[in-house]
Amino acid sequence: MTPNLSTVLIIGSFVSLIGATFYPIYFRSLMRLEEAKKEQAINQAGIVQEDVQPPGLKVWSYPFGRK
């Protein structure tokens, strides 16, 4: 195997690994907004933001809302 081919395979494998890692974390939630909203509603049920938010910081907002 030539040095250039092995370098391309190593870098390609690394990029593929990073892509496979970020897909379920970021891209899947962006493509399925309704499902992500339902999951967040279940995860955040019963949490009062003022009780968990440190004093003096802005209260967190929903990440999928309009900016």
For residue 59, tell me if it sits in a domain: no
Position 15 scores a pLDDT of 95
pTM of the predicted protein model: 0.46
What contacts 29, CB < 8 A, 6 or more positions away?
Answer: 36, 64
19-37 residue pLDDT tens: 899 888 888 878 888 888 8
- Give just the sign of the alpha carbon dihedral 57, 59, 65, 67: negative
Cβ(59)–Cβ(49) under 8 Å? yes
For residue 32, tell me if it sits in a domain: yes
Position 17 scores a pLDDT of 95
For residue 61, tell me if it sits in a domain: no
What confidence tier does 49 reach under pLDDT thresholds 50, 70, 90? confident
For residue 67, tell me if it sits in a domain: no
Overall domain count for the chain? 1
Range of the domain at 19: 3-52
